[in-house]
Amino acid sequence: MKKQLRSQNWFGKTGKDGFIYRAWMKNQGIPDYEFRGKPVIGICNTWSELTPCNAHFRELAESVKYGILEAGGYPVEFPVMSLGETLIKPTAMLYRNLASMDVEESIRANPIDGVVLLCGCDKTTPSLVMGACSVNIPTIVVSGGPMLTGKYKGKNIGTSDIWRFSEAVRSGQMTEQEMEVSEACMARSRGHCAVMGTAATMACMVESLGLSLPENAAIPAADSRRKVLAQLSGKRIVKMVEEDLKLTDILTREAFENAIKVNAAIGGSTNFVLHLLAIAGRVGVELSLNDFDVHSKDIPLIANLQPSGEHFVEDLYYAGGLPAVMKEILPALNKDALTVNGRTIAENCTDAACYDRNVIASSEKPFNSISGIVVLKGNLCEEGAVLKPSAASAHLLKHTGKAVVFENIEDYKNRIDDPLLDIDENSIMVLKNVGPIGYPGMPEVGNMGLPKKLLAKGVTDMVRISDGRMSGTGFGTVVLHVSPEAAAGGNFSVIEDGDIITLDVKQRTLQADVPEDELERRKSGKEKAAMPYTRGYVSLYVNHVQQAHLGADFDFLCGASGSEVTRDSH
Ligand code: FES
């Protein structure tokens, strides 16, 4: 027997309740037959002019609507909190969990049988997927697509060049005026960052988890085929409602393992770790930090994309897209994992072809044998820390140096260019209090710029350690997500100037040469700083955010409340 549509609990009612639910739909000029008895599909839209990466989403939503109508459903578009990476202060990550609550409650509270998630800029993808997971109705993701590759003075550029240009200005190799001219050259079309930063990583994550149609990850935002994919996704979600194909049918442990492996093959962002852990927590799949190391360690880097390589997401699409990358590592994937189109991940990439081996290498001759995200353990990070070796310098992957400690971001900014700062290229830069609680919100400041005096000497990389994050477009030998963070009072909180630290990526260790009893002595003598946040959302955040090794979700948001609402509103 066909399952009754969820929306019938609103529009199929008799009496006063049914009257109210239907009448105010009719005031939009919608005939009764359109929404009564047909699958009602929500289009969860993160369009906002304050999220420039998603500013084309109204147009994309129209394509989704055509598909829904074509398949016999009824589309209802609704807005949710949109998180733009570039404008939001102090960091969009502070609001990821808040946006996920908006998404969850908006879906659950409304007469929606299935939902299309329109996401693009970094946090819009995890927040929407996390929220939808806690409701668990049929769901499909449509990403906004990357910008076209930037062009500046005859060269291809993208977001990763912001860090290069900024260092070039600081070392006097580029003028401020030249850097300003390059802005429009980089951001020359609609879409999210054009490199394999966090937004592209998230788009690859949803495709490899099976939550989008094949090819979703890489079609440029400006390419007409992005709209075709949106229309086909609209068409497909109606069928998913008929099949009752829910998120938990797709998001199995095997799907999460596939996403970790694909992330290694594309050189995806370290932010992937936080977001995947948080999504797993919502659907109750056991996933730990260790899984990221275990499942990515035998996967080579297949995609030659910035910041780990040379090319751009647009090139990835022309070279065969994510299906061509997945085909290369297919023997390592859980082939039977189901995807939103009702086919397995293996079926989706069987016919994929590679058209450019400079962009998508073969698994026999990978672009780099080092890939993935390494999970470090040691007395400096009792619960772990992460590093992306493909974006690091090979000569620093095993390094011992003297700590130069910055207690917070202001301390770093005030002293980094002080000519008297006692630092050289062998030092290890340590930045505290940029973790989930300490900042609060865990900003992307982990790849802190090097001191001017060392840049002038031609130094291009140093080991840097923090409890914060790094932009997916960033690079360097950067240890991130130290857990417990300084504000949570672990060993990291008491590391001092001059302590000797050893990073050994091969051994997966991050160790301070400080005896245990000395660390304990320092911790017992340290007064816990009072949290100045006593009201509003930030107060909720600092009191409930979990540490990075758990995905930085709120403790009370783990798990699901489901899709049932038993009480009416009138
Ligand atoms: Fe939106 Fe990079 S700023 S994806």
List, for residues 506-518, the tens digit of each pLDDT value: 999 999 999 999 9
Given ligand 1 and candidates 86, 157, 313, 471, which is best to mutate, with the most ligand atoms within 8 Å of its CB? 86
State how far the Cα of 560 lies from the Cα of 246, in Å rounded to an integer. Answer: 13
- Give pLDDT, residue 474: 86
Q: Residue 41: phi, psi to the nearest 5?
A: -110, 120
**Closest protein CA for atom 2 of ligand 1:** 193
pLDDT over 70, % of the chain? 100
Confidence of residue 292 (pLDDT cuts 50, 70, 90): very high
CATH number of 374-530: 2.40.440.10, 3.30.420.130, 3.50.30.80, 3.30.360.10? Answer: 3.50.30.80
* Cis bond upstream, residue 532 (ω within 30): no
Confidence of residue 1 (pLDDT cuts 50, 70, 90): low
Closest CA to 271 of 486, 473, 50: 473
325-347 pLDDT per residue, tens: 999 999 999 999 999 999 999 99
- Give pLDDT, residue 351: 95
Ligand 1 atom closest to Cα of 471?
A: 2
For residue 21, report the distance from its CA to the centre of ligand 1, in Å: 38
For residue 379, report the distance from its CA to the centre of ligand 1, in Å: 34
pLDDT above 90: residue 241: yes
For residue 191, report the distance from its CA to the centre of ligand 1, in Å: 8
Judged on CB neighbours under 10 Å (0-12, 13-18, 19+), 414 is exposed
The two structure tokens encoding residue 483: 């857990």
54-84 pLDDT per residue, tens: 999 999 999 999 999 999 999 999 999 999 9
- Give pLDDT, residue 396: 97
Q: What is the DSSP letter of 309?
A: S
Domain range list for the chain: 38-148+189-349, 374-530
pLDDT above 80: residue 249: yes
Closest CA to 295 of 385, 348, 367, 374: 374
Q: Does domain 38-148+189-349 have CATH number 1.10.30.50?
A: no
436-487 pLDDT per residue, tens: 999 999 999 999 999 999 999 999 999 999 999 999 888 899 999 999 999 9
The two structure tokens encoding residue 482: 């130290």
Is there a contact between 428 and 404 (Cβ–Cβ < 8 Å)? Answer: yes
Work out the average pLDDT over 13-36.
93
Q: Where are the alpha helices (DSSP H) in 446-546?
A: 452-456, 516-524, 536-544
State how far the Cα of 120 lies from the Cα of 263, in Å rounded to an integer. Answer: 17
Q: Where are the alpha helices (DSSP H) in 154-210?
A: 160-170, 176-186, 198-209
- β-pairing verdict for 374-378 and 478-483: unpaired
Is there a contact between 313 and 472 (Cβ–Cβ < 8 Å)? Answer: no
CA angle in degrees (0–180, nearest 5) for 554-129-376: 60
pTM of structure: 0.97
pLDDT above 80: residue 529: no
Q: What is the DSSP letter of 31?
A: -
Work out the average pLDDT over 259-286.
97
**Closest protein CA for atom 1 of ligand 1:** 121
199-237 pLDDT per residue, tens: 999 999 999 999 999 999 999 999 999 999 999 999 999
For residue 40, report the distance from its CA to the centre of ligand 1, in Å: 31
**Closest protein CA for atom 3 of ligand 1:** 85
Amino acid at residue number 333:
L
C-alpha pair distances (Å), 203 with each of 164, 178, 310, 337, 400 = 25, 32, 19, 18, 37
Confidence of residue 569 (pLDDT cuts 50, 70, 90): confident
State how far the Cα of 438 lies from the Cα of 538, in Å rounded to an integer. Answer: 12
Closest CA to 216 of 301, 224, 206: 206
Contacts of 197 (CB under 8 A, 6+ apart): 122, 159, 160, 269, 307, 471, 472, 473
pLDDT above 90: residue 8: yes
pLDDT above 60: residue 570: yes
Ligand 1 binding residues, C-beta < 6 A: 53, 85-86, 121-122, 159, 192-193, 197, 199
For residue 308, report the distance from its CA to the centre of ligand 1, in Å: 17
pLDDT over 90, % of the chain? 93
Confidence of residue 51 (pLDDT cuts 50, 70, 90): very high
- Give pLDDT, residue 403: 98
For residue 128, report the distance from its CA to the centre of ligand 1, in Å: 16
Given ligand 1 and candidates 89, 193, 271, 469, which is best to mutate, with the most ligand atoms within 8 Å of its CB? 193
C-alpha pair distances (Å), 527 with each of 242, 381, 487 = 59, 20, 11
